[in-house]
Amino acid sequence: MLYAALDNVQSGLLLLDADLRARYGNPALHALFKNAPPRFIRETRPKYQFLLRGAQNISDADQDDYVQRRLDWVRAGGPDPMDIRMSDGKAVRCHVARLPEGGRMLIYSDITDIVRAAEELERLATIDGMTGIYNRRHFLNLADREWERARRYGRPISFMMIDIDNFKAINDTFGHQVGDAVIVHMADVARGCKRDADVLARVGGEEFALLLPETDLSRAKIVAERLRREVSRTKLPLISTAIESTISIGVASATDQMSGFAALMRAADEALYEAKRKGRNRVICLGARRAVKTNR
Protein backbone atom coordinates (compact mmCIF):
# COMPACT_ATOMS: atom_id res chain seq x y z
CA MET A 1 0.00 0.00 0.00
CA LEU A 2 2.87 2.39 0.82
CA TYR A 3 4.54 1.83 -2.57
CA ALA A 4 1.20 2.18 -4.36
CA ALA A 5 0.56 5.48 -2.58
CA LEU A 6 4.04 6.87 -3.32
CA ASP A 7 3.79 5.75 -6.95
CA ASN A 8 0.79 8.06 -7.36
CA VAL A 9 2.37 11.18 -5.83
CA GLN A 10 2.68 13.86 -8.51
CA SER A 11 6.02 15.17 -7.25
CA GLY A 12 9.20 13.19 -7.85
CA LEU A 13 10.27 11.26 -4.73
CA LEU A 14 13.66 9.71 -4.06
CA LEU A 15 14.40 7.84 -0.82
CA LEU A 16 18.04 7.49 0.23
CA ASP A 17 19.46 5.39 3.06
CA ALA A 18 22.12 6.58 5.49
CA ASP A 19 24.84 5.79 2.91
CA LEU A 20 22.99 7.92 0.36
CA ARG A 21 22.10 4.92 -1.76
CA ALA A 22 18.78 5.16 -3.60
CA ARG A 23 16.15 2.79 -2.18
CA TYR A 24 13.05 4.02 -3.97
CA GLY A 25 12.08 6.41 -6.73
CA ASN A 26 8.53 6.92 -7.93
CA PRO A 27 7.33 7.20 -11.57
CA ALA A 28 7.17 11.01 -11.34
CA LEU A 29 10.91 11.03 -10.55
CA HIS A 30 11.64 8.98 -13.65
CA ALA A 31 9.48 11.32 -15.75
CA LEU A 32 11.60 14.27 -14.61
CA PHE A 33 15.07 12.74 -14.93
CA LYS A 34 14.57 9.93 -17.47
CA ASN A 35 17.68 8.11 -16.22
CA ALA A 36 16.55 6.12 -13.19
CA PRO A 37 13.37 4.03 -13.64
CA PRO A 38 11.79 2.80 -10.39
CA ARG A 39 12.71 -0.85 -11.03
CA PHE A 40 16.37 0.06 -11.66
CA ILE A 41 16.56 1.90 -8.35
CA ARG A 42 14.89 -0.87 -6.34
CA GLU A 43 17.08 -3.61 -7.85
CA THR A 44 20.50 -1.92 -7.96
CA ARG A 45 20.30 0.68 -5.18
CA PRO A 46 22.71 3.10 -6.96
CA LYS A 47 24.60 5.78 -5.09
CA TYR A 48 23.02 9.20 -5.23
CA GLN A 49 26.02 10.70 -7.03
CA PHE A 50 25.50 8.22 -9.89
CA LEU A 51 22.00 9.59 -10.43
CA LEU A 52 23.29 13.17 -10.51
CA ARG A 53 25.70 12.82 -13.40
CA GLY A 54 24.34 13.97 -16.75
CA ALA A 55 21.06 15.25 -15.37
CA GLN A 56 22.07 18.88 -15.86
CA ASN A 57 23.72 20.68 -18.76
CA ILE A 58 27.10 20.95 -17.02
CA SER A 59 30.51 20.55 -18.63
CA ASP A 60 32.62 17.52 -17.75
CA ALA A 61 35.13 19.80 -16.01
CA ASP A 62 32.44 21.08 -13.63
CA GLN A 63 30.67 17.78 -12.98
CA ASP A 64 32.73 16.77 -9.94
CA ASP A 65 32.23 20.13 -8.24
CA TYR A 66 28.49 20.05 -8.97
CA VAL A 67 28.09 16.51 -7.61
CA GLN A 68 30.02 17.37 -4.46
CA ARG A 69 27.89 20.44 -3.78
CA ARG A 70 24.70 18.41 -4.18
CA LEU A 71 26.01 15.69 -1.87
CA ASP A 72 26.94 18.26 0.79
CA TRP A 73 23.50 19.83 0.53
CA VAL A 74 21.70 16.49 0.94
CA ARG A 75 23.87 15.47 3.90
CA ALA A 76 23.20 18.82 5.61
CA GLY A 77 19.46 18.28 5.22
CA GLY A 78 18.64 21.96 5.60
CA PRO A 79 15.22 23.54 5.05
CA ASP A 80 16.14 25.69 2.06
CA PRO A 81 15.26 24.21 -1.36
CA MET A 82 17.64 23.93 -4.29
CA ASP A 83 16.55 24.99 -7.78
CA ILE A 84 17.97 22.93 -10.62
CA ARG A 85 18.16 23.57 -14.35
CA MET A 86 17.89 20.30 -16.23
CA SER A 87 19.72 19.53 -19.46
CA ASP A 88 16.36 19.51 -21.29
CA GLY A 89 15.58 23.06 -20.10
CA LYS A 90 13.21 22.16 -17.29
CA ALA A 91 13.42 23.95 -13.94
CA VAL A 92 13.07 21.69 -10.90
CA ARG A 93 12.89 22.63 -7.22
CA CYS A 94 14.18 20.08 -4.74
CA HIS A 95 13.49 19.86 -1.00
CA VAL A 96 15.28 17.47 1.33
CA ALA A 97 13.75 15.91 4.44
CA ARG A 98 15.60 13.98 7.13
CA LEU A 99 14.46 10.39 7.75
CA PRO A 100 15.09 8.16 10.75
CA GLU A 101 18.51 6.49 11.02
CA GLY A 102 20.18 9.00 8.70
CA GLY A 103 18.11 8.53 5.59
CA ARG A 104 16.90 11.33 3.31
CA MET A 105 13.81 11.94 1.22
CA LEU A 106 14.21 14.23 -1.79
CA ILE A 107 11.07 15.83 -3.20
CA TYR A 108 11.29 17.20 -6.76
CA SER A 109 8.72 19.60 -8.22
CA ASP A 110 8.61 20.84 -11.82
CA ILE A 111 8.53 24.66 -11.59
CA THR A 112 9.30 25.32 -15.27
CA ASP A 113 6.07 27.25 -15.88
CA ILE A 114 6.61 29.37 -12.76
CA VAL A 115 10.19 30.18 -13.71
CA ARG A 116 9.26 31.02 -17.29
CA ALA A 117 6.46 33.30 -16.11
CA ALA A 118 8.87 35.05 -13.74
CA GLU A 119 11.45 35.42 -16.53
CA GLU A 120 8.81 36.87 -18.84
CA LEU A 121 7.73 39.36 -16.19
CA GLU A 122 11.35 40.37 -15.68
CA ARG A 123 11.81 40.74 -19.43
CA LEU A 124 8.73 42.94 -19.69
CA ALA A 125 9.99 45.06 -16.80
CA THR A 126 13.47 45.59 -18.25
CA ILE A 127 13.14 45.51 -22.06
CA ASP A 128 11.72 48.13 -24.40
CA GLY A 129 8.92 46.38 -26.25
CA MET A 130 9.55 48.03 -29.62
CA THR A 131 13.32 47.63 -29.96
CA GLY A 132 14.22 44.72 -27.71
CA ILE A 133 16.92 46.70 -25.91
CA TYR A 134 16.82 47.89 -22.29
CA ASN A 135 14.21 50.43 -21.23
CA ARG A 136 15.01 53.63 -19.35
CA ARG A 137 14.23 52.36 -15.87
CA HIS A 138 16.40 49.26 -16.10
CA PHE A 139 19.18 51.17 -17.82
CA LEU A 140 19.37 53.67 -14.96
CA ASN A 141 19.65 50.84 -12.45
CA LEU A 142 22.49 49.24 -14.41
CA ALA A 143 24.18 52.60 -14.95
CA ASP A 144 24.19 53.38 -11.24
CA ARG A 145 25.90 50.05 -10.56
CA GLU A 146 28.53 50.66 -13.24
CA TRP A 147 29.12 54.16 -11.90
CA GLU A 148 29.73 52.85 -8.37
CA ARG A 149 32.07 50.17 -9.68
CA ALA A 150 34.04 52.70 -11.73
CA ARG A 151 34.34 55.01 -8.73
CA ARG A 152 35.34 52.21 -6.36
CA TYR A 153 38.18 50.99 -8.56
CA GLY A 154 39.16 54.28 -10.15
CA ARG A 155 38.26 53.19 -13.68
CA PRO A 156 37.12 55.38 -16.58
CA ILE A 157 33.50 55.37 -17.73
CA SER A 158 31.84 57.25 -20.59
CA PHE A 159 28.30 57.83 -21.71
CA MET A 160 26.50 58.75 -24.95
CA MET A 161 23.15 60.38 -25.52
CA ILE A 162 21.95 59.63 -29.05
CA ASP A 163 19.07 61.29 -30.87
CA ILE A 164 17.61 60.57 -34.31
CA ASP A 165 17.78 63.77 -36.34
CA ASN A 166 14.57 65.36 -37.66
CA PHE A 167 12.47 62.51 -36.35
CA LYS A 168 9.25 64.56 -36.29
CA ALA A 169 9.68 65.29 -39.99
CA ILE A 170 10.04 61.56 -40.70
CA ASN A 171 6.81 60.87 -38.82
CA ASP A 172 4.96 63.73 -40.53
CA THR A 173 6.16 62.75 -44.02
CA PHE A 174 5.97 58.96 -43.92
CA GLY A 175 3.70 58.18 -40.96
CA HIS A 176 4.21 56.75 -37.51
CA GLN A 177 4.65 53.20 -38.76
CA VAL A 178 7.73 54.26 -40.70
CA GLY A 179 8.88 56.30 -37.72
CA ASP A 180 8.71 53.18 -35.56
CA ALA A 181 10.69 51.27 -38.18
CA VAL A 182 13.39 53.95 -38.09
CA ILE A 183 13.61 53.62 -34.28
CA VAL A 184 13.98 49.83 -34.56
CA HIS A 185 16.56 50.25 -37.32
CA MET A 186 18.58 52.63 -35.17
CA ALA A 187 18.51 50.15 -32.25
CA ASP A 188 19.69 47.32 -34.53
CA VAL A 189 22.60 49.38 -35.87
CA ALA A 190 23.62 50.49 -32.37
CA ARG A 191 23.42 46.91 -31.11
CA GLY A 192 25.83 45.87 -33.86
CA CYS A 193 28.31 48.64 -33.03
CA LYS A 194 28.51 48.22 -29.26
CA ARG A 195 30.77 45.90 -27.29
CA ASP A 196 29.42 43.13 -25.06
CA ALA A 197 30.18 45.14 -21.90
CA ASP A 198 28.43 48.30 -23.17
CA VAL A 199 24.87 48.98 -22.02
CA LEU A 200 22.39 50.16 -24.68
CA ALA A 201 18.89 51.45 -23.97
CA ARG A 202 16.03 53.40 -25.44
CA VAL A 203 15.42 56.20 -22.96
CA GLY A 204 12.86 58.32 -24.84
CA GLY A 205 10.81 58.40 -28.03
CA GLU A 206 13.75 58.70 -30.42
CA GLU A 207 16.49 58.98 -27.81
CA PHE A 208 18.98 56.27 -26.97
CA ALA A 209 21.67 55.90 -24.34
CA LEU A 210 24.91 53.95 -24.52
CA LEU A 211 27.07 53.44 -21.44
CA LEU A 212 30.70 52.47 -22.01
CA PRO A 213 32.47 51.04 -18.95
CA GLU A 214 36.28 51.03 -18.92
CA THR A 215 36.30 53.70 -21.64
CA ASP A 216 37.86 57.16 -21.61
CA LEU A 217 36.68 60.13 -23.67
CA SER A 218 39.00 59.57 -26.64
CA ARG A 219 37.96 55.94 -27.05
CA ALA A 220 34.28 56.82 -26.55
CA LYS A 221 34.58 59.39 -29.34
CA ILE A 222 35.84 56.67 -31.71
CA VAL A 223 32.85 54.46 -30.87
CA ALA A 224 30.44 57.36 -31.32
CA GLU A 225 31.88 58.30 -34.70
CA ARG A 226 31.69 54.71 -35.90
CA LEU A 227 28.03 54.54 -34.86
CA ARG A 228 27.19 57.88 -36.46
CA ARG A 229 28.80 56.85 -39.77
CA GLU A 230 27.09 53.46 -39.76
CA VAL A 231 23.64 54.98 -39.22
CA SER A 232 24.26 57.54 -41.96
CA ARG A 233 25.53 54.86 -44.34
CA THR A 234 22.71 52.34 -43.90
CA LYS A 235 19.29 53.15 -45.33
CA LEU A 236 16.03 51.68 -44.13
CA PRO A 237 14.49 49.87 -47.13
CA LEU A 238 10.77 50.33 -47.67
CA ILE A 239 8.45 49.20 -50.43
CA SER A 240 8.32 52.55 -52.21
CA THR A 241 11.53 54.24 -51.14
CA ALA A 242 14.54 54.04 -48.81
CA ILE A 243 14.61 56.23 -45.74
CA GLU A 244 17.84 58.01 -44.94
CA SER A 245 18.37 58.97 -41.31
CA THR A 246 21.18 60.49 -39.29
CA ILE A 247 21.89 60.83 -35.59
CA SER A 248 23.46 63.36 -33.28
CA ILE A 249 25.52 62.14 -30.34
CA GLY A 250 26.64 63.82 -27.17
CA VAL A 251 29.54 62.12 -25.36
CA ALA A 252 30.85 62.73 -21.87
CA SER A 253 33.26 60.97 -19.54
CA ALA A 254 33.24 60.87 -15.76
CA THR A 255 35.29 63.49 -13.94
CA ASP A 256 36.21 63.88 -10.29
CA GLN A 257 33.81 66.81 -10.02
CA MET A 258 30.75 64.71 -10.88
CA SER A 259 28.65 63.65 -7.91
CA GLY A 260 26.92 60.71 -9.57
CA PHE A 261 25.70 59.18 -12.80
CA ALA A 262 23.01 61.85 -13.15
CA ALA A 263 25.79 64.43 -13.55
CA LEU A 264 27.35 62.35 -16.33
CA MET A 265 23.97 62.17 -18.07
CA ARG A 266 23.57 65.94 -17.84
CA ALA A 267 27.01 66.45 -19.38
CA ALA A 268 26.15 64.15 -22.30
CA ASP A 269 22.79 65.91 -22.70
CA GLU A 270 24.60 69.23 -22.92
CA ALA A 271 26.92 67.84 -25.57
CA LEU A 272 23.94 66.44 -27.52
CA TYR A 273 22.21 69.82 -27.43
CA GLU A 274 25.41 71.39 -28.80
CA ALA A 275 25.57 68.81 -31.60
CA LYS A 276 22.02 69.64 -32.66
CA ARG A 277 22.60 73.37 -32.39
CA LYS A 278 25.62 73.09 -34.68
CA GLY A 279 23.65 71.35 -37.44
CA ARG A 280 23.05 67.69 -36.43
CA ASN A 281 24.67 64.53 -37.83
CA ARG A 282 27.71 65.02 -35.66
CA VAL A 283 29.40 64.03 -32.42
CA ILE A 284 30.23 66.47 -29.66
CA CYS A 285 32.50 65.33 -26.85
CA LEU A 286 32.32 67.19 -23.57
CA GLY A 287 35.51 67.35 -21.55
CA ALA A 288 35.94 68.36 -17.95
CA ARG A 289 35.11 72.02 -18.66
CA ARG A 290 33.66 72.40 -22.16
CA ALA A 291 32.93 70.80 -25.51
CA VAL A 292 36.29 69.77 -26.86
CA LYS A 293 35.66 68.82 -30.47
CA THR A 294 33.00 68.44 -33.14
CA ASN A 295 32.88 66.02 -36.04
CA ARG A 296 30.96 65.71 -39.24
The predicted-structure confidence for 20-44, as pLDDT tens digits, reads as follows 998 888 888 887 776 655 566 777 7
What is the dihedral angle through the alpha carbons of 33, 34, 39, 41, rounded to the nearest 10 degrees?
-40
Fold category of 2-115 in CATH: Beta-Lactamase (3.30.450)
pLDDT exceeds cutoff 90 at 215: yes
Q: Which CATH architecture has domain 127-295?
A: 2-Layer Sandwich (3.30)
Nearest residue to 270 (alpha-carbon basis) of 295, 245, 287, 255: 287
**Average pLDDT over the chain, rounded to whole?**
87
Total-model pTM? 0.65
Phi-psi region of 76 (alpha: psi -120 to 50; beta: other; left: phi over 0): alpha
What phi and psi values does residue 40 have, to the nearest 5 degrees? -60, -45
pLDDT digit string (tens) for 112-129? 888 888 878 888 889 999
pLDDT at position 230 is 94
Q: DSSP string spanning 233-268?
A: H--EE-SS-EE---EEEEEEE--TT--SHHHHHHHH
pLDDT digit string (tens) for 272-289? 999 999 999 999 998 644
Task: Delimit the domains of the chain by residue range.
Answer: 2-115, 127-295
What amino acid is encoded at 40 in this protein?
F
pLDDT digit string (tens) for 45-68? 888 888 777 666 666 777 788 888
pLDDT at position 289 is 42
| Low-confidence winner among 20-24, 109-113, 236-240, 260-264 (lowest mean pLDDT) | 236-240
pLDDT exceeds cutoff 80 at 227: yes
* Residues with Cβ within 8 Å of residue 17, at least 6 apart in sequence: 23, 45, 102, 103
pLDDT at position 36 is 57
Distance CA 151, CA 155 (A): 7
pLDDT exceeds cutoff 50 at 14: yes
DSSP 101: G
Same fold, 2-115 and 127-295: no
